[in-house]
Copies of this chain bind each other. A is one copy, B any other.
């Protein structure tokens, strides 16, 4: 700051010194009611395990047909009584009908891939950070995403919710779902449909015993983790819903948040600012709605 003080000696009136750029704590403290949004109960899933609830937000703005199919399956109770049958270290947790024989009911068997969508600007905020995998990265309604000159896609980050598929590109119908539990497997981007992300309860998935078969499948059916139910939040009585709010990502506050997270030395303890932040390292804060009172 010394140069500013020296300058003040001969300037009248002295210019207002630039305030110190804010730390992430300071940015968070500035967040007003307009910086938060509730989860949409029509696009929120609750997966109930014996150990607790996992809250997932769906992404119909990137995978409309797939999300619709998942909701059809969920409304029919398709996942109730199925299991988590694959847990691969530093990769994914996967669930559904392990035998692949449960009838899909009204849901579709195949869905044209929704790996990418046409590029649009109305809900994609560019984040000015270098990325290994994509020319440009950004955030879209809370979801990490990327784009090239033609298309946009959701990115595989920790907690991303994806749609298992076989060899055929259209074979992912939502009856087998996975969540990323390790370092972002970005090589999966544009190879498989992402349909959402986990908002709360990741620890119920990330701590599960790893499967010992190829790809982390459990060797014995008894190892599989029972799923009590998967419900759409809109189908759950209001008083039983999780009261979560998400920081909006299309705001000046969120931009300041990203900038502060790239300069952690403002927070203390850190001695060196990275001056940059990997897309998948940017936290999208959540809070309990009660915290707003």
**Residue ranges of A at the interface with B (Cβ–Cβ < 8 Å):** 89-90, 115, 129-133, 157-159, 167, 169, 182-187, 189-191, 202-203, 206-210, 261-262, 264, 268-272, 274, 276-281
Instruction: From B132, B183, B271, give the contact of A131 (CB < 8 A).
Output: B132
- B187 and A270 contacting across the interface, CB-CB below 8 Å: yes
In the complex, A50 Cα to B187 Cα: how many Å? 36
Instruction: From B89, B270, B272, B281, give the contact of A183 (CB < 8 A).
Output: B281
In the complex, A241 Cα to B173 Cα: how many Å? 47
- A208 and B210 contacting across the interface, CB-CB below 8 Å: no
In the complex, A270 Cα to B270 Cα: how many Å? 40
- 8 closest A-B pairs by beta carbon, nearest first, are A203-B210, A190-B272, A132-B278, A158-B183, A187-B274, A130-B132, A89-B203, A207-B207
Given known pairs A186-B278, A203-B89, A272-B191, the reply for A132 and B133 (CB within 8 Å) is no
Instruction: From B133, B210, B278, give the contact of A274 (CB < 8 A).
Output: B133
Interface centre among A157, A184, A187 (most CB of B within 10 A): A187
- A131 and B130 contacting across the interface, CB-CB below 8 Å: yes
Oligomeric state, in copies: 2
Instruction: Give the chain B neighbours of A189 by CB distance below 8 A.
Output: 272, 274
In the complex, A218 Cα to B183 Cα: how many Å? 24
- B133 and A186 contacting across the interface, CB-CB below 8 Å: no
In the complex, A278 Cα to B187 Cα: how many Å? 9
The chain B residue sitting closest to A216, CB to CB, is B203
Instruction: Give the chain B neighbours of A277 by CB distance below 8 A.
Output: 132, 187
In the complex, A57 Cα to B203 Cα: how many Å? 28
A18 vs chain B, min Cβ distance (A):
24
Given known pairs A132-B132, A133-B278, A169-B271, the reply for A184 and B187 (CB within 8 Å) is no
The chain B residue sitting closest to A185, CB to CB, is B281
In the complex, A131 Cα to B133 Cα: how many Å? 9
A198 vs chain B, min Cβ distance (A):
11
The chain B residue sitting closest to A265, CB to CB, is B191
A162 vs chain B, min Cβ distance (A):
14
A111 vs chain B, min Cβ distance (A):
15
Instruction: Give the chain B neighbours of A169 by CB distance below 8 A.
Output: 271
- A183 and B184 contacting across the interface, CB-CB below 8 Å: yes
- B157 and A206 contacting across the interface, CB-CB below 8 Å: no
A80 vs chain B, min Cβ distance (A):
26
Beyond contacts A130-B130, A183-B184, A203-B209: 15 other A-B pairs, Cβ-Cβ < 8 A, are A90-B158, A129-B132, A130-B132, A169-B271, A182-B183, A183-B280, A186-B274, A186-B278, A187-B274, A187-B277, A190-B271, A191-B271, A206-B206, A206-B210, A207-B209
A208 vs chain B, min Cβ distance (A):
7
Instruction: Give the chain B neighbours of A130 by CB distance below 8 A.
Output: 130-132
In the complex, A31 Cα to B97 Cα: how many Å? 38
